[in-house]
Amino acid sequence: HLSELHLTADGGELFGSSPLARLHLAIDSILAAHADADLCLLTGDLADAGGDEAYAALAAALDRLPMPAHLLPGNHDSREALRRHFPQLPADQSGFLQTALATPAGRFLLLDTVETGAPWGSYCAARQDWLAEQLATSGDEALWLAMHHPPLALGIPSMDQFALRDAAALWSLIAPHQARIRHLFFGHVHRPIGGSWHDIPFSCTSS
């Protein structure tokens, strides 16, 4: 699970270090210790300003991975630019970059929580309809959820104001399936954090 890459347009430094160099170090670590993983999950803010050069660098870097990489957008990303460089990215019927993945461990539901032009997250009625259909057709499979924005306050006021604003609606959809939900992955807050939300284990990774 990688998140908050914030790649720059020219590969240059951001706040005193190179995001691209840090990404390659992360990939080095994956190759050394986790090369047998089934997938690599990236939960948003892949580019710092949603630029084409940054996504081109990301595509080249991810080519080093032996496993498929599954990308979600964050509030710093551009859906349109992402799809130019990752045309295989699946989208729902409304154009949101969310999908369901069948894995040996169960069904991964990757949720697009980006509100265009805003730092906080949202999960509108159209996206809720997609999720409701996925849940209804998932049988008794184990479920794993991933998104960019956390659906809960984490006790960090500067970030909590930019969390998911439709958390109650999201919970109402997934509550009947709580017993099948194994984990929730998210990013956005640039910190390694773990805990539980409505008794669902969650984790967030550092940038």
Please list the pLDDT of the chain residue by residue as tens digits (207 residues).
Answer: 999 999 998 888 889 999 999 999 999 999 999 999 999 999 999 999 989 999 999 999 999 999 999 999 999 999 999 999 999 999 999 999 999 999 999 999 999 999 999 999 999 999 999 999 999 999 999 999 999 999 999 999 999 999 999 999 999 999 999 999 999 999 999 999 999 999 999 999 999
CB atoms within 10 A of CB 111: 28
Dump strand ranges (E) for the chain.
40-43, 69-72, 99-103, 106-110, 143-146, 181-186, 193-197, 200-204
